[in-house]
């Protein structure tokens, strides 16, 4: 695992899941983390409806909170959208942008992702920028080219290790139970690290940026994946919804 000067991050993306009753899982996770000191940061990214109540729930804990998306404008006639500044008011410290489900379901381009990441920075939030290849792109041997293109197009000016995290999520591994081999993960993360140098003022700063792995991360494979060179944590989907499973992944850093 590369030293970035920042702790690794294990972030849970609840996606379109969770109601007020789900906050019981947050309480359970807080209890499990009490008295232990994992060598990582922990974050939960709930749906928008839970940002304020979850923020209150996490106020006295070491667990950070993020959001799952934002609009690139600060305000305006954008029905159903939410601005990064609105997210910041909830106590969130980060926002996921460019998740493959947004890119696919909402046809978000690299340009849109770049604008959203810039909005996150404008609001003082960390942008967790997601990139990753489809199964067809991997089979065609285009994984590294795809990652290069997405990094070049999705990262705005002013990115640095303090305001930007990259999440590598091979699209074919999300929610499928499939995962790339540790060697494949290592290759992708090393390539991302190299490509970041052109976007964050050189190799020294690129070495400090946290690069998360995401895609069917589970308690039974987390330790192996988190030990891969240049992997600085995980972006976890379904397994973050239950305190037991999420803590099992966090335990890779105990």
Pick from 76, 62, 165: nearest CA to 121: 165
For this structure, is 99 an active site residue? yes
For this structure, is 169 an active site residue? yes
Up-side HSE of residue 98: CA atoms within 13 Å toward CB?
33
Residue 119: what are its φ and ψ, rounded to 5°? -65, -40
Residue 130: what are its φ and ψ, rounded to 5°? -95, 140
Three-state SS for 144?
A: helix
| Catalytic choice (25, 133, 169, 195) | 169
CA distance 251 to 254: 5
CA distance 233 to 10: 5
| Catalytic choice (99, 121, 189, 191) | 99
For the annotated catalytic residues, the residue numbers are 99, 169
């Amino acid at each position: 695992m590369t030293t970035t000067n920042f702790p690794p991050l294990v972030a849970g993306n609840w996606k379109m899941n969770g109601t007020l009753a789900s906050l019981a899982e947050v309480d359970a996770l807080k209890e499990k983390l009490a008295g232990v000191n994992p060598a990582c940061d922990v974050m939960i990214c709930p749906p928008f409806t839970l940002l304020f109540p979850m923020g209150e729930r996490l106020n006295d804990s070491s667990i950070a909170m993020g959001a799952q998306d934002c609009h690139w404008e600060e305000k305006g006639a954008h029905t159903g959208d939410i601005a990064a500044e609105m997210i910041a008011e909830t106590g969130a410290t980060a926002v996921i942008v460019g998740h493959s489900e947004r890119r696919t379901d909402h046809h978000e381009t690299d340009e849109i992702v770049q604008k959203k990441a810039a909005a996150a920075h404008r609001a003082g939030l960390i942008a967790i920028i997601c990139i990753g290849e489809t199964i067809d792109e991997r089979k065609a041997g285009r994984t590294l080219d795809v990652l290069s293109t997405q990094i070049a197009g999705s990262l705005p000016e002013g990115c640095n290790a303090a305001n930007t995290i990259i999440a590598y999520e091979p699209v074919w591994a999300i929610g499928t139970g499939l995962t790339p081999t540790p060697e494949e993960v290592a290759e992708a993360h090393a390539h991302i690290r190299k490509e970041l140098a052109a976007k964050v003022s050189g190799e020294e700063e690129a070495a400090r940026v946290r690069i998360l792995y995401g895609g069917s991360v589970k308690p039974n494979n987390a330790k192996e994946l988190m030990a891969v060179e240049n992997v600085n944590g995980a972006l976890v989907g379904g397994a973050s919804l239950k305190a037991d499973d999420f803590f099992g992944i966090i335990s890779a850093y105990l």
